């Protein structure tokens, strides 16, 4: 690590404008009670490991009451804990321990839809005149009985399902068991604002807001999606689905009226000190969508899928994705970068192929990408296990698969289980130290045992320790911590070069994918 020292003043930026955020998928992090499923006390037991890495915050994927058809992204009660994950008291203990270690805590709110088991939907579906009748998108059929629009679900099939009791269709952009909330109804906005206040009052530092582009805030009559003239069938089932033959923005997705939610949610956050709202989104033009969501008085930041391509990106693709973002957001902290999350194959696998590297180069490549990501403006999100260069798990037996998307298309397409297998903590422990259970919710990957987390934290030359050292160095650099300003990207076919710029320091960052090394020079 370069030895650069400077006399600096206290950083003027908010914590979230430079934060490195560690994402935890609670079902797969640590099981504390031997049922084969990760839980909140398990996370608490591993917070020292996370703090040792040197990240600034954790983001915990949903742990609310849920039938678990989409593993927590189908919420049945936004104010309580799914029993297999623990209790509110367990969450409070986790929060207190994280704060004691200097970690901010973000939780994952799903504002676009809930579970069909939620009391709101159970009441709404009964009739057209009950108190919750207008809390979801209910629409009469067309004269021939077909759905009101050509909208399609991300998971396949129409985005409309029939409810015989109301003799109407309801909207769901994902599973039919995930009905979309009607954000045109002020009562829905208030209910979600109350959810935000509930968790802020407990001490939560921020929210990652799931799939905000799929919020629906328009009222009927809805417009059909237009055909996508640039659609090219791909090799993966999700690219072959009819969904991707359509353009969605303004009709089904990224509706302008969504911003009523952003404004209302921000108003709640602003009642508390130093809280952070980060939205996940995508769309026909993700950068433009990010600009809309982070306009004054809306969300603090967003992240999109431009760096999360399912098959990875080559160097030109990485440069293009970053350059588009920098052109729109340079000088701000309104964007978060992510090479990985719980919805795409692990970075160390998909990027290895995309960059044309050999298996033995996996760890060096992963460290380089982690360094690149955390040198860009704004915040960055690191998915659990990326600090170990864990590979994607492609050999899950069909009978053990859990993801509804993968179950639908296996074995051609394995869905998202491949990046969600349990964390391993000790290579010589049963189930890698994840659980004492006879079996776990997803199989523990044998290939991961050689890079078990606690073993790697104790090994001086591990990627965990190399990244931890880099994050310690990063915190000492004014150019990275005290301003969100950077130059345009440049570099040859194997390099990404830019300057990070602050009044106290200009730092030239060079990432070389031929030598798989990063160099930094004060200029």
Residue 6 has pLDDT above 80, yes or no: no
Burial of 211 (0-12, 13-18, 19+ CB in 10 A): buried
Side-chain-facing half-sphere of 316: CA atoms under 13 Å: 1
Confidence of residue 5 (pLDDT cuts 50, 70, 90): very low
Burial 189-204 (b: 16+ CB within 10 A, else e): beebbebbeebbeeeb
Confidence of residue 174 (pLDDT cuts 50, 70, 90): very high
Q: What is the pLDDT of residue 234?
A: 76
Tell me the pLDDT tens digit for each residue of 332-354: 999 999 999 999 999 999 999 99
Tell me the pLDDT tens digit for each residue of 442-475: 999 999 999 999 999 999 999 999 999 999 999 9
Residue 114 has pLDDT above 70, yes or no: yes
Whole-model pTM: value is: 0.96
Confidence of residue 405 (pLDDT cuts 50, 70, 90): confident
pLDDT average, residue stretch 125-141: 98
Contact 274, 15 (CB under 8 A): yes
Q: What is the pLDDT of residue 412?
A: 78
Contact 30, 43 (CB under 8 A): yes
Confidence of residue 7 (pLDDT cuts 50, 70, 90): very low
Q: CA–CA separation, 465 vs 359, rounded Å? A: 21
User: Which tokens go with 245?
Assistant: 């033959």
Q: What is the pLDDT of residue 142?
A: 97
Residue 520, beta-bridge partner list: 509
Tell the CATH topology of 15-114+185-221+250-397+450-481. Answer: TIM Barrel (3.20.20)
**DSSP code per residue over 300-338:** SEEE-STT--TT---HHHHHHHHHHHHHHHTTS--BEEE
Handedness of CA 147, 151, 156, 160 (dihedral sign): negative
Instruction: Give the domain ranges of the chain.
Output: 15-114+185-221+250-397+450-481
Q: What is the pLDDT of residue 4?
A: 38
Confidence of residue 68 (pLDDT cuts 50, 70, 90): very high
Tell me the pLDDT tens digit for each residue of 142-173: 999 999 999 999 988 999 999 999 999 999 99
Q: Which of 17, 29, 1, 127 is nearest to 421 (CA)?
A: 29
Confidence of residue 240 (pLDDT cuts 50, 70, 90): low
Q: What is the pLDDT of residue 20?
A: 98
Residue 361 has pLDDT above 50, yes or no: yes
Q: What is the pLDDT of residue 238?
A: 61
Tell me the pLDDT tens digit for each residue of 227-237: 999 998 877 66
Please give the positions annotated as active site: 210, 280
Tell me the pLDDT tens digit for each residue of 264-316: 999 999 999 999 999 999 999 999 999 999 999 999 999 989 999 989 999 99
- Alpha helices for 186-344 (secondary structure H): 186-202, 237-240, 259-269, 286-293, 315-329
Q: What is the pLDDT of residue 148?
A: 97
Tally the residues of the chain. 523
* 3-state SS assignment for residue 509: strand
Q: What is the pLDDT of residue 410?
A: 79
């Amino acid at each position: 690590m370069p030895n650069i020292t400077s006399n600096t003043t206290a950083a003027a930026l908010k914590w979230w404008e430079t934060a490195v955020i560690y994402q935890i998928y609670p079902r797969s992090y640590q099981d504390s009670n031997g049922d084969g499923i990760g839980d909140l006390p398990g996370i608490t037991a591993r917070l020292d490991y996370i703090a040792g890495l040197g990240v600034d915050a954790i983001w915990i994927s949903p742990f609310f009451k849920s039938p678990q058809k989409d593993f927590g992204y189908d919420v049945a009660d936004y104010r309580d804990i799914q029993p297999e994950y623990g209790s509110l008291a367990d969450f409070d203990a986790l929060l207190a321990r994280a704060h004691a270690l200097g970690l901010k805590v973000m939780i994952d709110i799903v504002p676009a839809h809930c579970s069909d088991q939620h009391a709101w939907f159970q009441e709404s579906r009964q009739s057209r005149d009950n108190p919750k009748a207008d809390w979801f998108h209910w629409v009469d059929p067309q004269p021939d009985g077909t759905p009101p629009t050509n909208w399609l679900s991300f998971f396949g099939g129409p985005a409309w399902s029939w409810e015989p009791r109301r003799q109407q269709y309801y909207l769901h952009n994902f599973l039919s068991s995930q009905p979309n909330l009607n954000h045109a109804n002020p009562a829905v906005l208030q209910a979600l604002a109350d959810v935000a206040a509930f968790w802020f009052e407990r001490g939560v530092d921020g929210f990652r807001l799931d799939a905000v582009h799929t919020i629906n805030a328009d009222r009927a009559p809805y417009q059909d999606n237009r055909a996508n003239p640039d659609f090219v069938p791909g090799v993966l089932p999700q690219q072959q689905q009819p969904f991707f033959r359509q353009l969605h923005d303004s009709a089904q997705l990224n509706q302008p009226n969504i911003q009523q939610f952003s404004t209302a949610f921000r108003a709640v956050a602003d009642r508390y000190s130093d809280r952070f709202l980060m939205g996940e989104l995508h769309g026909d033009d993700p950068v433009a969508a990010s600009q809309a969501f982070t306009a004054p008085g809306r969300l603090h930041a967003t992240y999109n899928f431009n760096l999360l391509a399912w098959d990875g990106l080559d160097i030109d693709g990485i440069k293009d994705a970053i350059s588009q973002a920098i052109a729109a957001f340079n000088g701000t902290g309104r964007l978060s970068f992510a090479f990985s999350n719980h919805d795409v194959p692990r970075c160390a696998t998909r990027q290895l192929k995309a960059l044309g590297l050999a298996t033995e180069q996996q760890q060096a490549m992963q460290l380089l990408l982690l360094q690149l990501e955390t040198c860009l403006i704004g915040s960055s999100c690191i998915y659990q296990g990326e600090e170990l260069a864990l590979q994607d798990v492609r050999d899950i037996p069909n009978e053990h698969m859990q993801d509804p998307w993968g179950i639908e298309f296996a074995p051609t397409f394995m869905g998202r289980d491949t990046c969600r297998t349990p964390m391993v903590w000790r290579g010589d422990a049963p189930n890698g130290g994840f659980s004492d259970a006879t079996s776990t919710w997803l199989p523990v990957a044998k290939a991961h045992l050689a890079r078990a987390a606690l073993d790697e934290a104790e090994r001086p030359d591990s990627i965990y320790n190399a990244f931890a050292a880099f994050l310690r160095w990063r915190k000492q650099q004014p150019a990275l911590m005290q301003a969100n300003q950077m130059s345009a990207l440049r570099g040859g076919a194997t390099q990404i070069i830019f300057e990070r710029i602050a009044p106290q320091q200009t730092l030239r960052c060079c990432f070389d994918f031929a030598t798989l090394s990063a160099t930094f020079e004060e200029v």
